[in-house]
Amino acid sequence: MLHPALTPLINPPTDVGRDLEDLRPEGTIEEAREAFHAEVAALDAMAIMPLPDVNIAEAEIPVEGGTISCRVYHPHALKSDMAAPAVLYLHGGGWIFGNLETHDDICRMLAHHTPCVIVSVAYRLAPGVHFPVPLEDSLAAYCWLRDKAAELSIDNSRIAVAGDSAGANLAFGVSRLATRAGIEPPRFQLLLYPVCDLIALTTSRKRYARGYWLDSLDFQISCYIGSEADRNDPRASPRLARDLHIMPPTRIVTAGYDPLCDEGIALAEQLQNAGVITERVHFPQYIHGFASLRGLLPEVDDVLREQAAALSRWLAA
């Protein structure tokens, strides 16, 4: 049964962000993006419990053609004379939405409940850029984090990647590409309701395609890819990768009322079959994007603490 607190988000009467398939004129992406970000901010403002206080700094990461922004979260409890583990966090939003602000809650919670430095990355968004640019930005951020380890007081042998939705898709890609390139891969990856397959026609995609806070997935994918052939590229569709055995230990979190539920569960099974240590966590009452819904679901704080505990365990010295 769907969690009753989520009913306000189900089949809302008017919702600019949910009907993106109908948006084609120039400029409407920016308008829809602003509407989505405003919606997330309004939901954040409904949260009863205040966010934890952590130290925050901003930085710029060089990428091909310019720079991208990142936000670095240091827990107050970190000792300045010790190199801390770190987590590279890649936000969700279907590759067209999301920024450092929309996922500030998640990153603050992870920073507060782990002994880790959390680095949230504002990779470039579609349709301004297409696949594989957001993935290349994410890999550049991972390499930057490793290179800047001493400056950031980070132990670069204890870095994880994490992300939600499209960000989880990118996090998986970072782990795989780093390993294939001979770069020390992340020690662990945390994937919250990941996009796993750009050609999937699963039961959950059909059942929850409309009205469950992820109505525009097909449109988001069409904005992200540069050509239809990209859908079959394992860098974009992790389930199509034939070298899953090289992946680091993985935790995949799925939600019962999520179009992406089935493919997340399937990827977890594929990783397990390939010999990868895989933790599977399922929340049957929740919808896609629930980690950003503290304003409606106070329980999300407990969920985030649980994910923080997993990160802490895998990044322990």
Q: Considering 3, 103, 112, 288, which one is annotated as catalytic?
A: 288
165 catalytic residue (yes or no): yes
With H, G, I as helix, E, B as strand and everything else as coil, classify residue 259. coil
With H, G, I as helix, E, B as strand and everything else as coil, classify residue 311. helix
Beta carbons of 83 and 148 less than 8 angstroms apart: no
Identify the residue whose tokens are 């001493």. Answer: 150
Beta carbons of 294 and 105 less than 8 angstroms apart: yes
φ/ψ (deg, to 5) at 189: -135, 135
Cα–Cα distance for residue pair 273/313, rounded to 1 Å = 23
Q: Considering 105, 137, 233, 258, which one is annotated as catalytic?
A: 258
With H, G, I as helix, E, B as strand and everything else as coil, classify residue 190. strand
Beta carbons of 101 and 56 less than 8 angstroms apart: no
With H, G, I as helix, E, B as strand and everything else as coil, classify residue 40. helix
Sign of CA pseudo-dihedral 162, 167, 168, 172: negative
Cα–Cα distance for residue pair 62/52, rounded to 1 Å = 30
- Report the b/e string of 65-94 with b at 16+ CB within 10 A: eeebebbbbbbeebeeeebbbbbbbbbbbb
Rg of the Cα atoms in the chain: 18
Q: Considering 138, 165, 204, 292, which one is annotated as catalytic?
A: 165
The β-bridge relationship of strands 117-122 and 66-74 is antiparallel
Residues marked as catalytic: 165, 258, 288
